[in-house]
Amino acid sequence: MTDTMSPTVPPIVRMQKLNKHFGSLHVLNDIDLEIVPGEVVVVIGASGSGKSTLIRCINGLEEFQSGTLSVDGNTLKPDGKSSKALQTIRTEVGMVFQQFNLFPHLSVIDNITLAPMKVRGWSRSDAVATANRLLDRVGIADQADKYPSQLSGGQQQRVALARALAMEPRLMLFDEPTSALDPEMIGEVLDAMRELAKEGMTMVIVTHEMGFAREVADRIIFIHKGVIAEQGTPEQLFDTPQHERTQSFLARVLKH
């Protein structure tokens, strides 16, 4: 958590007037967002508010209909299919999904080495060395030869994190990474993410773990009906929320 808000650093993500529709539903409405390198941004909001869609736009899993989006200098156009910029962005941006999405037919080690070998062109030995180092880092070095179905949910999610990190991303996206986990496994995944934040990784996290958000976030963004209703430091947003929607949302999620 460095002082990343200094205006001299060029943003790694820049969204301007981004609009996204699902049919007649206006999912994202004139989103302006800049994220600087090293920043940890947590996106909160009710389900259906557009928070997942927002981060899925960043690596092109969702198309948008108007506005501009650039990631690390690569500009995505509205409704752009598989442009070269999109391909570059995806190699530079890692993502961890709610449902892990590990490849069930591949062992843990093959899950992690696939993209570095096929996309980055690494040798198998280099990719395996990196994979083992990452598995060690997320605390499951002894599971390399197992298949995803043989692991617990928390272990699977840590493999998914290692898999994304193996591509040496400049930015990591987390789409509700602990929402599908049993309560006793949430901690181990959050610990791994905490470590990553400490190392200075730029992270955009959609989560319902408010304690975690308060602890690791440099900035909290509250989304309501496709609009950034309010944003600020965790202290500002959690302790003195200005927007009425933020207050009622927090009252609902924090009371239990």
Measured from the CB atom, is 90 or 219 closer to another protein? 90
Of 29, 155, 167, 174, nearest in space to 98 by CA = 174
Can you tell me the distance from the alpha carbon of 88 to that of 226, in angstroms, rounded to the nearest whole number? 27
| Phi, psi of 48, rounded to the nearest 5 degrees | 85, 5
Q: Give yes or no for residue 22 binding another protein (CB under 8 A).
A: no
Residue 87 touches another protein, criterion: CB under 8 A: yes
- Interaction pattern, residues 110-149, with another protein; x per rule: CB under 8 A: ----xx--xxx--------------------------x-x
Q: Of these, 6, 8, 47, 82, which contacts another protein (CB under 8 A)?
A: 82
The total number of residues written for the chain in this structure: 256
CA-to-CA separations, 124 to 133, 147, 166, in angstroms, rounded: 14, 19, 13
Provide, rounded to whole angstroms, the least separation between the CB of residue 2 and another protein.
26
Task: List the alpha helices (DSSP H) in the chain.
Answer: 51-58, 84-92, 108-118, 124-137, 153-165, 183-198, 210-216, 234, 244-254
The residue among 70 and 231 lying less far from another protein, judged by its C-beta, is 70
- For residue 94, state whether it binds another protein (rule: CB under 8 A): yes
Contact call for residues 71 and 107 (beta carbons, < 8 A):
no
Interaction of residue 6 with another protein, rule CB under 8 A: no
- Contact between residue 222 and residue 243 where contact means Cβ atoms under 8 Å apart: yes
Q: Please tell me whether residue 61 binds another protein under the rule CB under 8 A.
A: yes
> Among residues 115 and 223, whose Cβ is nearest to another protein?
115
Taking the least distance from each CB to another protein, the nearer of 105 and 256 is: 105
In whole angstroms, the minimum distance from the beta carbon of 166 to another protein comes to: 8
* Least gap, CB of 241 to another protein (angstroms): 32
109 touching another protein, by CB under 8 A: no
**Contacting another protein within 173-212 (CB under 8 A):** 173
| Residue 203, beta-bridge partner list | 40, 172
Helices 124-137 and 153-165, axial angle in degrees (round to 10): 130
**In the complex, least distance from residue 165 CB atom to another protein, rounded to whole angstroms:** 11
Q: How far apart are the C-alpha atoms of 62 and 186, rounded to whole Å?
A: 27
Instruction: Report the residue number, 60 or 153, with the smaller CB distance to another protein.
Output: 60
Interacting residue ranges for another protein, rule: CB under 8 A: 59-61, 82, 87, 90-91, 93-95, 97, 99, 101-105, 114-115, 118-120, 147, 149, 160, 163-164, 167, 173
